[in-house]
Amino acid sequence: MARILVVDDEPDLLETVRRILVRSGHEVLTVPSGAEGLHIVERGGLDLVLTDLMMPGVDGLAVLAGAAARDPLTPVVMMTAYATVETAVAALRAGAWDYLAKPFGPDALRVVVDRALGHRALGTENRRLRAALVGPPLLGSSAALTTVIETIERVAPTDLGVLITGESGTGKEVVARALHSSSRRASRSFVPVDCGAIPPNLVESELFGHERGAFTGAESERRGLVEEADGGTFFLDEIGDLDATAQTRLLRLLQEGEFRRVGSNRLRKVDLRVVAATNRPLEDAVAAGRFRADLFHRLNVVRIHLPPLRERPADVPVLARHFVARFRAEGGRAPLAVGESLLARFAAHNWPGNVRELANVCRYLAGLALGPEALVTDLPPGFGAGADRVATAGTADPAPAGVRHDLPYAEAKRLWLDPFDEAYFHGLLAAHDGNISAAARAADIDRKTVQRFLKRE
């Protein structure tokens, strides 16, 4: 039995539709005005809305907008006596699922209702399956992570701006996706953008799109990522990398909900939620004049900080077991236990690449561990070199193991440093999925240094 709302200012039509749908086994609510209909849809709990298009005061398009805002999966069918092509197209463009031209018979009504309810059932099942496949977005029991999860639960149902901070690899995009999947926009697009990965001369075109002929090479018009995110969540990672012009245009988008494509004078409207992230203090960029203060305050309505993995060691065993189980299942292989000696080794590691580094190590173990249990001997070569919490102060011989005293200084230094560089840069690049710019930012070095290492390989 579905719960259906019918909105129309014609009492006879309301009663006719109610009788037909009740005979089909549905619970039916009827109201004679758009204002009352809007009040009911805002409370939620509906499976379908049928509304007249033309009504005094609050019309059917306003009811449609209210239903979409409350739950995008709720289909809305327009009933109209003005069934011209223009009005039908306008209703569908506004988000209506279908329309019924008055007068309509019982069979036509039942067919449209059955199809609309089938569409909702499919969307609901897809949402459930997607949530089941993704699994818990944030795993761990540390106090810091518990605070993050509680904040997500409070903020997700709203459209408040959220700024996510934390080192590279801590899971900022995971938090953004959790905000999206728990919001009213969950059935719409989640569009992530790595602001640092877009060449400066293409930022505006990528974000806002362009018209044909707007610049050399623009041979056709192009929708930007902002339009792709319409109705959903727009996630701007490394927001501090945006240049001044893009910052100005983004501020207008946040303030007015509108933008222009490059090369166009036409204003376009969008309805989206913007979530931003950064691995560097934006306050410093504001103080230095590199980031607009007004844009910062727009983004920083709610702050969610993700602490580095080294500050929440209690989460490492939970994450390690989760990642190993997930990657083994993806490969269609038997479960793999995670040995206590391996977890102890993990506890001694600083995890400079944070959760992303841990996931990549677990992916390696899931694919290459030799027995039914992942052991320390299964770890990637060079794991932990230069990045472990190993105390050497106060020992009889403070020199690192492996230093050769029987060689000239330059050669002994090279033999010691080369393995360190190899382990460090391999781990760094693995933690950032091969992204040289992101790796260089995390290491606080010039990207040319990373490129020199790759050329040396």
Average pLDDT of span 211-233: 83
| Phi then psi dihedrals of residue 118, to 5 deg | -65, -40
Q: What is the pLDDT of residue 397?
A: 40
Q: Residue 232, Cα to own-chain centre: how many angstroms?
A: 10
Query: What helix, strand, coil percent values describe the chain, rounded to 5?
Result: 50, 15, 35
When pLDDT is cut at 50, 70 and 90, the band that residue 396 belongs to is very low
Q: Is the residue at 367 inside a domain? A: yes
When pLDDT is cut at 50, 70 and 90, the band that residue 135 belongs to is very low
Torsion of CA 263, 268, 274, 276, to 10 degrees: 10
User: In this structure, are residues 75 and 48 in contact, taking their beta carbons and an 8 Å threshold?
Assistant: yes
Distance CA 278, CA 315 (A): 22
Q: Residue 346, Cα to own-chain centre: how many angstroms?
A: 28
- Domain boundary residue among 131, 160, 181? 131
- What's the CATH number where 185 sits? 3.40.50.300
Q: What is the pLDDT of residue 330?
A: 85
User: In this structure, are residues 4 and 47 in contact, taking their beta carbons and an 8 Å threshold?
Assistant: yes
Average pLDDT of span 303-311: 93
Q: Is the residue at 28 inside a domain? A: yes
Q: Indicate the number of domains in the chain.
A: 3
Q: What is the pLDDT of residue 413?
A: 65
Per-residue pLDDT at 394 exceeds 50: no
2 vs 125, higher pLDDT: 2
Q: What is the pLDDT of residue 411?
A: 62
Mean pLDDT, rounded, of the chain: 84
Average pLDDT of span 377-384: 84
One domain for residues 113 and 161: no
Residue 254 structure tokens: 């946040």
Helix residue spans in 135-243 (DSSP H): 143-155, 172-181, 203-208, 225-228
Q: What is the pLDDT of residue 83?
A: 57
- What's the CATH number where 50 sits? 3.40.50.2300
Q: Dihedral sign, CA of 101, 104, 109, 115?
A: negative
Q: Is the residue at 435 inside a domain? A: yes
Q: What is the pLDDT of residue 275?
A: 96
One domain for residues 181 and 293: yes
| Residues 6+ away with beta carbon under 8 Å from 219 | 212
One domain for residues 188 and 293: yes
Q: Is the residue at 228 inside a domain? A: yes
Distance CA 431, CA 428 (A): 5
Give kind and range of the element (H or E) at residue 333: none
Range picked from 109-118, 378-387, 445-454 for highest mean pLDDT: 109-118
Per-residue pLDDT at 363 exceeds 70: yes
Q: Residue 385, Cα to own-chain centre: how many angstroms?
A: 33
One domain for residues 330 and 449: yes
| Residues 6+ away with beta carbon under 8 Å from 377 | none
101 vs 411, higher pLDDT: 101
Least confidently predicted of 155-169, 204-218, 279-293, 306-320 = 204-218
- Domain boundary residue among 307, 334, 349? 307
One domain for residues 441 and 323: yes
Average pLDDT of span 211-228: 81
Q: Dihedral sign, CA of 358, 359, 360, 361?
A: positive
One domain for residues 9 and 32: yes
Per-residue pLDDT at 300 exceeds 60: yes
Helix residue spans in 156-196 (DSSP H): 172-181
Backbone torsion region of residue 217, taken as left when φ is above 0, otherwise alpha when ψ lies between -120 and 50, otherwise beta: left
Per-residue pLDDT at 148 exceeds 50: yes
Q: Which of helix, strand or coil describes residue 48? A: strand
- What's the CATH number where 365 sits? 1.10.8.60
Strand 190-194 with 162-165, pairing? unpaired
pLDDT in tens, 37-82: 998 988 778 899 999 988 999 999 999 988 887 777 889 999 988 6
Distance CA 51, CA 245 (A): 44
pLDDT in tens, 402-416: 455 556 666 666 666
Helix pair angle (60-70, 85-93), 10° resolution: 20
User: In this structure, are residues 225 and 203 in contact, taking their beta carbons and an 8 Å threshold?
Assistant: no
One domain for residues 156 and 266: yes
Q: Is the residue at 136 inside a domain? A: no
One domain for residues 67 and 208: no
When pLDDT is cut at 50, 70 and 90, the band that residue 197 belongs to is confident
> Does pTM surpass 0.75?
no
One domain for residues 77 and 56: yes
Q: Is the residue at 237 inside a domain? A: yes
Q: What is the pLDDT of residue 136?
A: 45
Q: What is the pLDDT of residue 410?
A: 66
pLDDT in tens, 23-33: 999 999 999 99
Average pLDDT of span 115-127: 79
One domain for residues 153 and 294: yes
One domain for residues 272 and 292: yes
- Domain boundary residue among 111, 131, 151? 131
Q: What is the pLDDT of residue 304?
A: 95
pLDDT in tens, 75-92: 999 998 865 667 777 778
Residue 27: which domain range? 3-131
One domain for residues 9 and 116: yes
Count CB-CB contacts under 10 A for residue 150: 10
| Residues 6+ away with beta carbon under 8 Å from 445 | none
pLDDT in tens, 161-170: 999 999 988 9
Per-residue pLDDT at 401 exceeds 50: no
Per-residue pLDDT at 129 exceeds 80: no
Q: Is the residue at 60 inside a domain? A: yes
Q: Is the residue at 137 inside a domain? A: no
